[in-house]
Structure 1
Amino acid sequence: MDWTQTIFEVIDMRSFSNLWFWIALAVVWSSASHWVLGVPFDMITRARRHGGQAQEDLETLVSINVRRLLFIGRVSGLVLIGFLCFLLTALAILGFVYDVEFAQALFLIGLPLSGVLALSLATARRLERDEPQGEELYRRLLRHRQIVQVIGMVSIFVTAFWGMAQNLSHNWINGF
C-alpha cells in the first residue's frame, strides 16, 4: 500500500468535512477582526481608556498603517486587483464549474476577504483625508471593525451552509 493512499484514507482531505479547515476559517476571521487597519484591537481599547501616551501611540500607528496601505494601493493597486480578480475567478471556476471542493473553500474565504481589503482601503482614504483624532478616530476604527465582523459572520454562515450542503450531498451519493 502506498503511503499517500494511507494518508488520504486516514485523513479526510475534503475541505468542508475537515476540522482543520474550520479552525483555519475561525482563525482567519478572528485575525481579520482583531487587526483593524493593522492596529491590534487591544491597543484601541487601551488608548480609549487611558489616553495620553497610549493615544499618541495609536494615532502614530494608525497614521503609519494608513500611509502604508494607501502607498501599496496607489503604486501597485491595479496589478494587485487584476491578480486578485484572476485568482478569485480561477477558484470560482475550479470550485463551482469543475466541482473542486478545495477551490470552493478557498473562494469562500477569499471573496469576503477581498471585500474587507476594499473596506480597509476606503477607510484608510477617509482617515487620510479627515485626519481624525481622539474619540472620532476610535469611533471610525470601531465602526470599521464592526463592519468586518458582520462580513465575517455572513461569510462563516454562508460557508457553513455550503459546507453542510456539500457534506450531505457527498454522503447521499456515497451512502451513509
Structure 2
Amino acid sequence: MDWFENLTALIDLRSFSSVWYWIALAVLWSTASHWVLGIPFDMVSRAGSRGGQAEADLEDMARVMTNRLLGISRIAGLWLLGLTCFFLTSLALIGFLYGIQMAQAVFLMAFPMAIVGVLSLNTARLIQLRRAHGPELRKILWRHRIMVQVVGMIAIFITAMWGMYQNLKAGMGNHFGPMGAIEQQVDDDPNNGWGRPGGV
C-alpha cells in the first residue's frame, strides 16, 4: 500500500526528515516575530500611523503585558529558570550525547526561544523603568522585534544546517553502506573481470 507508506512517512515526527517539523519551526518563528511581548505588532504599526486611540491602546497593552511578565518573573522566576535549565540540559544530553534526533530537533527550537524569553524580560524591564510611551515605546518594541528576528534567522540557519547534515548522514548510511558491500563482493568474485567469459 504505497499511499499508506507515503502517509506514514509524511507524518513521521521522529527526525529532521519530517515536513511537519519544518512547518512547526516556520510557524514558531513567525509567531514569535509577530507577537512582541505578547503584543501583536500590527498594533505598533497602527499606533505609529494613526496615533490617538490606537496609541493609547498600545500603551495600555504594553503596560498590561510588561506588568504580567515582570510579575511572573518576580514570583516564579527562580523556579522557571531552574526548570528551563533542567529541560534544556536534558534535551541536549539526550539529543547530542545519545543521538536521539527528536530531542535534537526540540532543543534547536527551545533553546533560541529561551533566549527570546530573556530578551522579552529585559525589554519589559526597560519599558517599566523608563515609563516609555508614545514614540519611545514604539522604538523599544521595534528594536525588540529586530533582535527576535536576528535570533530567529540564526536559529533557523543552524537548524537547517544540522538537519541537512543528519539527513545526508542517514541517506549515505542507507545507500552507500550496501553499495560498498556489493562492490566488495564483486571485487572478491574470482569470475569477475578478465577471468569471466565475456569480461572486458
Equivalents in 2 of 1:81, 1:163: separation in Å? 28
- What corresponds to 2:45 in structure 1? 45
Quick one: structure 1 residues 154 and 68, their matched pair in 2 at CA, closer, same or farther if it must change by over 3 Å? same
- Secondary structure of 2:27's match? helix
- What corresponds to 1:149 in structure 2? 149
Letter in 2 for 1:21: Y
> Identity percentage over the alignment?
52
Equivalents in 2 of 1:85, 1:163: separation in Å? 23
- What corresponds to 2:185 in structure 1? none
**Contact 2:91 / 2:103 at 8 angstroms: preserved in 1?**
yes
Q: Deviations over 1:88-121 (max 9, x none)?
A: 0000001000100000000000000000000000
- Secondary structure of 1:17's match? coil
Quick one: structure 1 residues 73 and 6, their matched pair in 2 at CA, closer, same or farther if it must change by over 3 Å? same
Letter in 2 for 1:57: D
2:63 pairs with 1:63: yes
Residue ranges of structure 2 left out of the alignment (5+ in a row): 177-200
**Contact 2:9 / 2:18 at 8 angstroms: preserved in 1?**
no
Cα distance, 1:132 vs. partner? 1.1
Which one scores higher on RCO, CA 8 angstroms, separation ≥ 6? 1
Equivalents in 2 of 1:102, 1:172: separation in Å? 20
Letter in 2 for 1:53: Q
Give TM-score, length-normalised by structure 1: 0.93
- Runs of 4 or more consecutive aligned structure 1 residues displaced over 6 Å after TM superposition: none
- What corresponds to 1:174 in structure 2? 174
- Secondary structure of 1:175's match? helix
Quick one: structure 1 residues 166 and 47, their matched pair in 2 at CA, closer, same or farther if it must change by over 3 Å? same
Give TM-score, length-normalised by structure 2: 0.82
Q: Rg bigger for which structure?
A: 2
- What corresponds to 1:77 in structure 2? 77
Where in structure 2 are the equivalents of 1:61-140 lying within 5 Å? 61-140=61-140
Cα distance, 1:7 vs. partner? 7.1
Cα distance, 1:9 vs. partner? 6.0
Letter in 1 for 2:62: V
Equivalents in 1 of 2:119, 2:10: separation in Å? 41
- What corresponds to 1:30 in structure 2? 30
Letter in 2 for 1:77: G
